[in-house]
């Protein structure tokens, strides 16, 4: 047994990279033991649909339904609706798969009926047979915004998808964060989590919006437990996505030490890839473990999750 | 030339059967000469989408995009979203094709942005390359309701699709009709139409909701022009759909004379199928023409439309 089944674990998770570690964790820990806390900062309204890309990526990944090539979207999905939009002269910049649409239609309908995003997400995950609780950090609206040199302020998906994270980023902020509150489910999960894992997601775009919800950071800091992150960088670069480029543009240090500073006192430990081991110095301020963090196969995901839990469990 | 191009024509049209004649008319008359007035009584909200089945059927048919087997839906459409709903434990009773969804998403979004159904329909039809104006009879909400013996009151699509028109019908009424108004476009088209054609649609479920909008009947009666209907019956039965069954249950006479009475003084002429010619008596109250009304091929549709126009044009 990797971990005493009475020890509760929570994980902060963004999109594709984070979902891979969450997948590994879900294969080791029971649904009673593990709660996933998801980012909603990249949610968007498109064609009247409420789309939660990060929640969907985690859900599809843990339900073994994710597209294995892209990491997002549903395996074997088709694009008939998307292509048809073009017949109507639309120029859609956000790809919506046909199967994927069922998720968005149901979420939108249930939200309109007054269900919380938490309740909607629970119903969707159960429907897909995902057994571990996936909790949006908040049921309130919170939008990750990106100030770019070329286009001024952009919504996250406009920056990320429409402009393919090409614009130069000056600043990131979270619209609505000051009025958002963590859900009761998230507050309980954070309070009870002896181990909190920060998945290898973009620290600025995926994890920061979770931490930006007032009360979340306090809940993490005030609980009795440890916090460990898995670095999203390999060889000083993001595996995919804009993390390194964007942090560089914002003047953030993307080294191991920069990452520790970005999480600003939150971490007790950090797992980094062996390609980044040269960055380590004697007398690091927190525990650092070096291993292979690239997760390509299911086995990679489970192995890294196990190593992470065993390491923290041994402290 | 079948008709003087200065003579304006309007056609009242429901779903599949009516759309066939409308298709024929559109191949003979220019977009300036022909206005199609569509039924909205069977519109429904499903999964948050505003669906206008009759308008869509007419649009797809005239844009040469309709599914040739069913008569409704888009040719070559797929059902990935629909099937995915079942994975979420839904039991969807109204089939939504993947391509078809683009229509519903855009309509819903544009309506939510404040566009009228008339403007939305114009944008959709132009997008698909349908050049003839298709005008919803009203931009107000009007819902065809069916009082059934087995289930009490049902919305039209619940009766028609969910229960496959099996319930016994006691009464049909049009919710919201008293507050609905014909659009300016419909009022103009009816005023200017020297020839008004009532397409072979269900008189009670497809044409009656158009006539139920206050002012429509007056516009038709007060204008200078003729009105001719094509009977939806062949051999005393509906080609498809519930027209004969439902009218029988409601105690309506589905003979030629019953049909004339159902339209209650509106008609100057009626085209019936040769299989119903035995019903004719000497000294009919209106002109009746006997021909083949079954429309299977594009040629059938154009031939019947031409015969209809030539007949009325000869009066």
**Backbone conformation region of residue A185, classed left if phi is above 0, alpha if psi is from -120 to 50, else beta:** alpha
Residue A184 lies in a domain: yes
Cα B201 to chain centroid distance, Å, stands at: 5
With CB atoms and an 8 Å threshold, state whether B84 touches A90. Answer: no
pLDDT value for A294: 95
Give the Å distances, CA to CA, from B237 to A211, B22, B244, B247. Answer: 67, 21, 6, 11
Among A residues 252-291, those touching chain B with beta carbons less than 8 Å apart:
none
A80 close to B (CB below 8 A): yes
| Residue A214 distance to chain B (closest CA, Å) | 32
Residue A3 lies in a domain: no
Residue A210 lies in a domain: yes
What is the 3 state secondary structure string of A81-92?
Answer: HHHHHHHCCCCC
| Residue A274 distance to chain B (closest CA, Å) | 41
Q: Identify which of B169, B127, B131 has the alpha carbon closest to the alpha carbon of residue B147.
A: B169
Which stretches of B233-294 are assigned E, i.e. beta strand? 233-234, 237-238, 269-273, 287-291
Task: For the beta carbon of residue B7, count every other beta carbon within 10 angstroms.
Answer: 17
Exposure class string for A171-191: b at 16+ Cβ within 10 A, else e: ebebeebeebebbebbebbbe
pLDDT value for B1: 67
Domain, as residue range, for B38? 8-70+106-147+175-313
pLDDT value for B302: 97
Residue A58 lies in a domain: yes
Point out the residue among B48, B74, B102 whose CB comes nearest to the CB of A105: B48
Among B residues 116-155, those touching chain A with beta carbons less than 8 Å apart:
123-124, 127-128
Mean pLDDT by 10 residues, chain A (315 residues): 89 96 98 98 94 97 95 95 95 93 97 97 97 98 95 93 93 96 98 97 94 97 95 88 88 87 92 93 88 96 97 93
CA–CA gap between residue B37 and residue B105 (Å, rounded): 23
Residue A219 lies in a domain: yes
Per-residue pLDDT tens digits of chain B, which is 315 residues long: 688 989 999 999 998 999 999 999 999 999 999 999 999 999 999 999 999 999 999 999 999 999 999 999 999 999 999 999 999 999 888 889 999 999 999 999 999 999 999 999 999 999 999 999 999 999 999 999 999 999 999 999 999 989 999 999 999 999 999 999 999 999 999 999 999 999 999 999 999 999 999 999 999 999 999 999 999 999 988 888 888 898 889 988 888 888 998 898 899 999 999 999 998 887 788 999 999 999 999 999 999 999 999 999 999
B280: which residues sit within 8 A by CB, 6+ positions away? Answer: B256, B272, B288, B290
Point out the residue among B49, B83, B106 whose CB comes nearest to the CB of A88: B106
User: pTM for the full model?
Assistant: 0.92
As a 3-state breakdown, chain A gives helix, strand, coil percent values, each rounded to 5, of 40, 20, 40
Residue B134 lies in a domain: yes
B296: which residues sit within 8 A by CB, 6+ positions away? Answer: none
Q: Which residues of A touch B125 (CB under 8 A)?
A: none
CA–CA gap between residue B21 and residue B290 (Å, rounded): 16
Exposure class string for B199-209: b at 16+ Cβ within 10 A, else e: bbbbbbbbbbb
B91 close to A (CB below 8 A): no
Residue A166 lies in a domain: no
CA–CA gap between residue B184 and residue B314 (Å, rounded): 30
With CB atoms and an 8 Å threshold, state whether A78 touches B78. Answer: yes
Residue B34 lies in a domain: yes
| Interface with B, mutate which of A45, A46, A48, A129 (most B CBs under 10 A) | A48
Domain CATH number, residue A229: 3.40.50.10680
H/E stretch holding A146 reads strand A143-148
Q: Which residues of A touch B88 (CB under 8 A)?
A: 102-103, 106, 123-124, 127-128
Torsion, CA A298, CA A69, CA A91, CA A84, rounded to 10: -100
Give the Å distances, CA to CA, from B173 to A275, B168, B170, B240. Answer: 73, 15, 10, 22
Domain count, chain A: 1
Place of tokens 């190593």: A307
């Amino acid at each position: 047994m990797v971990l005493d089944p009475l020890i509760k674990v929570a994980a902060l998770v963004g999109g594709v990279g984070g979902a891979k570690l969450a997948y590994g964790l879900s294969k080791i820990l029971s649904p009673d033991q593990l709660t996933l806390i998801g980012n909603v900062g990249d949610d968007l309204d498109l064609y009247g649909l409420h789309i939660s890309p990060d929640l969907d990526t985690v859900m599809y990944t843990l339900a073994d339904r994710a597209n294995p090539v892209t990491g997002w979207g549903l395996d074997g999905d088709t694009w008939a609706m998307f292509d048809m939009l073009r017949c109507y002269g639309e120029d859609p910049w956000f790809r919506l798969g046909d199967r994927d649409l069922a998720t968005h239609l149901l979420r939108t309908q249930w939200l309109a009926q007054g269900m919380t995003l938490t309740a909607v997400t629970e119903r969707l995950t159960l429907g897909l047979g995902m057994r571990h609780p996936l909790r949006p950090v908040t049921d309130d609206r919170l939008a990750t915004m990106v100030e770019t040199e070329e286009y001024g302020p952009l919504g996250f998906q406009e920056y990320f998808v429409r402009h393919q994270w090409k614009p130069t980023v000056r600043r990131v902020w979270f619209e609505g964060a000051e009025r958002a509150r963590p859900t009761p489910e998230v507050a309980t999960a954070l309070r009870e989590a002896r181990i909190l894992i920060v998945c290898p997601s973009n620290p600025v775009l995926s994890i920061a919006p979770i931490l930006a919800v007032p009360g979340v950071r306090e809940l993490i800091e005030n609980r009795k437990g440890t916090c460990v992150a898995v670095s999203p960088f390999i060889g000083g670069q993001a595996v995919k996505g804009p993390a390194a480029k964007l942090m560089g543009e914002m003047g953030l240090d993307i080294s191991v030490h920069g990452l520790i500073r970005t999480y600003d006192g939150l971490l007790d430990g950090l797992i980094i890839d062996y390609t980044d081991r040269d960055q380590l110095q004697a007398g690091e301020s927190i525990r650092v473990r070096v291993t292979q963090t690239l997760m390509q196969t299911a086995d990679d995901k489970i192995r890294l999750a196990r190593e992470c839990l065993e390491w923290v469990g041994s402290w």
